[in-house]
Structure 1
Amino acid sequence: MTSSDLDQQLARKGRMVSLVIAGTLILWMLIQVVSNLLGLPGRYAFLFDFAAMAALLWALINGLQLWRARRDSQG
């Protein structure tokens, strides 16, 4: 694998992580507003909160893997 291929792969993974973070936060805020308007019980809010935390945990783990891969490829 050439350096250019690795850079493209890391850039693609970085874009995916950033889209997951942005999408999760936007969706979480939207669900909070809609569930408030619909008067859904609090247990549904916790369900959506845990789903958002799982997505952000996934993004954190992949972000750390991305950081380590870039650090290893530079030196």
Structure 2
Amino acid sequence: MAISDQDRALAQQARLVAVVLVATMVLWIAAQWLGGRFGWEARFAFLFDLAALAAFVWSLVVTYRIWRRRQEK
């Protein structure tokens, strides 16, 4: 059975979502640790939190779109 171009595109998008989620978690945890270690102001921690939330929302939206496309098939 051959894999269609649409299936390849969906798999590539799913891999991108996985990479973004892992990178977001690693960078967010590192930023929190560095902030505590160097005594950064709380507004920087809030900025990192908002950036992580934006990445998680983006991942959720893309994952939903992947799911919907698979349901249409």
Fold-level match, TM-score > 0.5? yes
Aligned length: 72
- Root mean square deviation, CA, Å: 1.3
Structure 1 segments (4+ residues) deviating >6 Å:
none
Distance 2:11 2:36 in 1: 38
TM-score, normalized by length of structure 2? Answer: 0.94
Number of the residue aligned with 2:7:
7
1:37 alignment counterpart: 37
SS at match of 2:40: coil
Q: Matched residues in 1 for 2:8 and 2:48: separation?
A: 33
Matches within 5 A, 1:1-75: 4-73=4-73
Identity, % of aligned positions: 39
Q: CA deviation at 1:38?
A: 0.7
Unaligned 5+ runs, structure 1: none
| Unpaired segments ≥5 residues, structure 2 | none
